[in-house]
């Protein structure tokens, strides 16, 4: 606690110094000193400090602010200037998104300003590198993610986790009439699953009576602090704190050290086991495959940390919002339950899950409105021009914005704010069954798109369908309060304060 106060003090002090410097340099208040220079489309901007004033005024509603600005722009693209940051082009234009993510992919790496934010935690892992470092890992990982043995392993883990831990946990909350934070439960579930798949170890975090394991806490803290780095209006602040090893940056360093040393230990144990009984080498998890293929320890460490980081909070965020949306739309909830019941088989297998198109439609619709990753940035390696005519200079940041895109009228129509899963179906009348519409990934880039599309997309849908189907056919999930939840975008988005629910038996519901 004391550390956080100290942290705010350092930050406050820095901002005060900055503003003093600005005022002295220009002798008059900046807001009056310059004639407002309106950017072509974008927030009001002043020389030198750029949009810092409007940025500050809107800091608690950035998503809505950007979405409004984007819908007012004729090509859904705006330019943002901030002190100490690159000129940033934010776009919700599908043609621009396709250009950046696919057509001229090689001109749009993540770039240093972004990889710096996560670099301390992710090292040279796939999630956080560009160029050759990225493409060689991508090739390797794509192969690993597409094997039949991994799919079978994932199905085994899901059955173990859902039947053995998640459903009993809900059952017990129901019997005790307890209020449960479903978001927390789903986050623990997702972490446990991705840990088992990536590392082959069980972090045991779904046992709510036990304290959160240190590895999980360290991961949480590290990603939270990195997210704060990314949200800071002035980057120089965290860089200065890191240089002096104070406040949040010191906490980050400690957490990163804990994550790295825990993963290193897991790797060394696994290596020892592999050497002891070569015959039984195939544990099915990604770590075992990577080590068996002879890759170096450091590379493997960074890769699995990237997988865990990428695969942990995303699926839980998507499912949390879906459960809330369903609780607000009883007819859709009944439809999805009927759909699941008509297909259900025990245990759920891969083929059955593939047929659950209506569950997938509901998940996509939920992620359209509440995308787990609200925005993502690239940096132009060389001067370029986007399809809508926006000129880019080397080093400019280009941000594609799935949250805003899900709320653009020209992409989704007048009913864009409504939860309507049937917009994803080829034949909306056909009671939830039937084929899904083909929707361009550049119009719906929640998994990114193009060569760097999310590697875990298929795994994520399998996992989410398994969980949603299993929970819904047995239980009714009802919000414990009547407050409208608040969507907070950190590194991955979540529901502020958690999602407090009561669990009831579904009437006419099904035995486990
Ligand atoms: C609903 C769930 C998910 C969503 C919405 C999602 C979304 C995304 C997005 C937007 C990116 C690009 C991020 C960036 O480049 O900065 C990404 C990359 C990635 N995702 Fe996912 N993801 C999900 C689940 C998963 C899962 C379960 C895994 C499995 C471990 C996973 C593994 C990865 C990996 C390894 C990358 C990096 C790919 C690369 O850079 O080549 N994701 N994901
Ligand atoms: C792609 O990017 C390069 C700069 O790296 C640029 O010269 C070229 O015009 C761009 N356009 C296309 C269509 O490749």
Give pLDDT tens digits along the chain (512 positions).
444 555 666 666 666 666 655 554 443 333 333 333 334 566 666 555 556 666 666 667 889 989 999 999 999 999 987 666 678 999 999 999 999 999 999 999 999 877 888 888 999 999 999 999 999 999 999 998 999 989 999 999 999 999 999 999 999 999 999 999 999 999 999 999 999 999 998 888 888 888 888 888 888 888 888 888 877 766 778 888 888 888 888 989 999 999 999 999 999 998 888 888 764 555 789 999 888 888 888 889 999 999 998 888 899 999 999 999 999 999 999 999 999 999 998 889 999 999 999 999 999 999 999 999 999 999 999 999 999 999 999 999 999 999 999 999 999 999 999 999 999 999 876 666 778 999 999 999 999 999 999 999 999 999 999 999 999 999 999 999 888 898 987 677 889 889 999 999 998 766 55
- The Cα–Cα gap between 352 and 346 comes to 10
Distance 169 CA to ligand 2 centre (A): 54
pLDDT value at residue 42: 64
pLDDT value at residue 263: 92
pLDDT value at residue 276: 83
* CB 450 less than 6 A from any atom of ligand 1: no
Q: List the residue whose alpha carbon is closest to atom 9 of ligand 2.
A: 384
Residue of 382, 383, 395 to mutate, ligand 2, most atoms within 8 A of C-beta:
382
Which atom of ligand 1 lies at the shortest distance from residue 197's CA? 30
Distance of CA 400 to the CA centre of its chain: 14
Are 7 and 248 contacting, i.e. CB atoms less than 8 angstroms apart? yes
Distance 438 CA to ligand 1 centre (A): 21
Q: Which ligand is nearest to the CA of 382?
A: 2
Distance 462 CA to ligand 1 centre (A): 14
* CB 97 less than 6 A from any atom of ligand 1: no
Q: List the residue whose alpha carbon is closest to atom 2 of ligand 2.
A: 107
* CB 193 less than 6 A from any atom of ligand 1: no
Q: Label residue 174 exposed, middle or buried (CB < 10 Å: 0-12, 13-18, 19+).
A: middle
Q: List the residue whose alpha carbon is closest to atom 6 of ligand 1.
A: 447
pLDDT value at residue 336: 95
Query: What CATH code would you report for 2-505?
Result: 1.10.630.10
Per DSSP, 505 falls in state: E
Residue of 98, 102, 106, 384 to mutate, ligand 2, most atoms within 8 A of C-beta:
384
Distance 107 CA to ligand 2 centre (A): 7
Residue of 137, 139, 195, 310 to mutate, ligand 1, most atoms within 8 A of C-beta:
310
Distance 194 CA to ligand 1 centre (A): 12
Q: Which ligand is nearest to the CA of 109?
A: 1
Distance 111 CA to ligand 1 centre (A): 17
Q: List the residue whose alpha carbon is closest to atom 27 of ligand 1.
A: 311
Instruction: Give the relative orientation of helices 112-122 and 214-231 as an angle to the nearest 10 degrees.
Output: 160
Which atom of ligand 1 lies at the shortest distance from residue 377's CA? 16
Are 77 and 367 contacting, i.e. CB atoms less than 8 angstroms apart? no
Structure tokens at 146: 């597409």
Distance 50 CA to ligand 2 centre (A): 28
Q: Which ligand is nearest to the CA of 364?
A: 1
Beta bridge partners of 385: 391
* CB 384 less than 6 A from any atom of ligand 2: yes
Q: List the residue whose alpha carbon is closest to atom 31 of ligand 1.
A: 456
What pTM does this model have? 0.89
- The Cα–Cα gap between 162 and 348 comes to 11
Instruction: Give the relative orientation of helices 297-328 and 112-122 as an angle to the nearest 10 degrees.
Output: 100
Distance 491 CA to ligand 1 centre (A): 12
Beta bridge partners of 180: 501
Q: What is the largest CA-CA distance in the chain?
A: 76
Are 303 and 125 contacting, i.e. CB atoms less than 8 angstroms apart? yes
Distance 412 CA to ligand 1 centre (A): 24
Are 81 and 182 contacting, i.e. CB atoms less than 8 angstroms apart? no
Instruction: Give the relative orientation of helices 330-343 and 357-369 as an angle to the nearest 10 degrees.
Output: 150
Q: List the residue whose alpha carbon is closest to atom 11 of ligand 1.
A: 454
Distance 104 CA to ligand 2 centre (A): 6
The three-point CA angle 238-242-246 to 5° equals 100
* CB 364 less than 6 A from any atom of ligand 1: no
* CB 382 less than 6 A from any atom of ligand 2: yes
* CB 107 less than 6 A from any atom of ligand 2: yes
* CB 130 less than 6 A from any atom of ligand 1: no
Distance 445 CA to ligand 1 centre (A): 11
pLDDT value at residue 430: 67
* CB 376 less than 6 A from any atom of ligand 1: yes
Q: Label residue 87 exposed, middle or buried (CB < 10 Å: 0-12, 13-18, 19+).
A: middle
Order of strands, edge to edge, in the sheet holding 397-400? 77-80, 88-91, 397-400, 376-379
pLDDT value at residue 99: 98
- The Cα–Cα gap between 136 and 138 comes to 5
């Amino acid at each position: 606690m004391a550390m956080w106060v100290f942290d705010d003090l350092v930050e406050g002090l820095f901002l005060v110094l900055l503003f003093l410097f600005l005022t002295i340099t220009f002798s008059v208040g900046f807001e009056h000193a310059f004639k407002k220079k309106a950017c072509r489309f974008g927030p009001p901007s002043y020389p030198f400090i750029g949009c810092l004033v409007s940025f500050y005024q809107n800091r608690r509603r950035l998503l809505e602010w950007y979405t409004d600005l984007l819908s007012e722009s004729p090509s859904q693209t705006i330019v943002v200037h901030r002190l100490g940051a690159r000129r940033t082009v934010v776009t919700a234009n599908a043609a621009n998104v396709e250009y950046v993510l696919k057509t001229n992919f090689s001109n749009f790496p993540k770039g240093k300003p972004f990889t710096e934010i996560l670099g301390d935690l992710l090292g040279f892992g796939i999630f956080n590198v560009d160029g050759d470092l990225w493409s060689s890992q991508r090739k390797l990982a794509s192969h690993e993610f597409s094997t039949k043995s991994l799919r079978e392993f994932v199905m085994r883990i899901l059955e173990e986790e859902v039947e053995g831990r998640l459903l009993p946990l809900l059952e017990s909350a129901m019997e005790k009439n307890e209020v449960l934070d479903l978001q927390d439960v789903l986050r623990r579930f997702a972490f446990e699953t991705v840990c088992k798949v990536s590392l082959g170890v069980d972090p045991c975090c779904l046992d709510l009576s036990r304290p959160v394991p240190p590895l999980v806490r360290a991961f949480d803290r590290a990603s939270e602090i990195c997210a704060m780095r990314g949200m800071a209006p002035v980057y120089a602040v965290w860089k200065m704190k890191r240089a002096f090893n104070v406040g949040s940056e010191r906490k980050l360093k400690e957490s990163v050290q804990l994550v790295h040393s825990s993963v290193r230990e897991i790797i060394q144990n696994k290596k020892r086991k592999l050497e002891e009984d070569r015959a039984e080498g195939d544990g099915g998890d990604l770590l075992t495959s990577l080590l068996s293929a002879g890759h170096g320890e450091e590379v493997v460490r960074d890769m699995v940390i990237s997988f865990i980081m990428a695969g942990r909070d995303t699926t839980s965020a998507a499912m949390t919002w879906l459960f809330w949306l369903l609780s607000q739309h009883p007819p859709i909830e009944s439809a999805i339950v009927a759909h699941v019941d008509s297909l259900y088989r025990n245990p759920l297998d891969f083929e059955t899950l593939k047929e659950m198109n209506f569950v997938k439609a509901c998940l996509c619709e939920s992620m359209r409105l509440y995308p787990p990753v609200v925005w993502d940035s690239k940096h132009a390696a060389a001067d370029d021009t986007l399809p809508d005519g926006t000129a880019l200079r080397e080093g400019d940041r280009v941000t594609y914005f799935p949250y805003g895109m899900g709320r653009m009228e020209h992409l989704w129509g007048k009913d864009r704010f409504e939860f309507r899963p049937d917009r994803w179906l080829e034949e909306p009348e056909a009671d939830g069954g039937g084929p899904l519409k083909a929707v361009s990934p550049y119009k719906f880039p929640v998994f990114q798109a193009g060569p760097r599309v999310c590697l875990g997309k298929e795994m994520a849908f399998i996992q989410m369908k398994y969980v949603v189907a299993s929970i819904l056919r047995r239980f009714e999930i009802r919000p414990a309060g009547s407050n409208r939840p608040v969507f907070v975008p950190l590194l991955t988005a979540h529901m502020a304060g958690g999602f407090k629910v009561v669990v009831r038996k579904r009437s006419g519901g099904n035995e486990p």
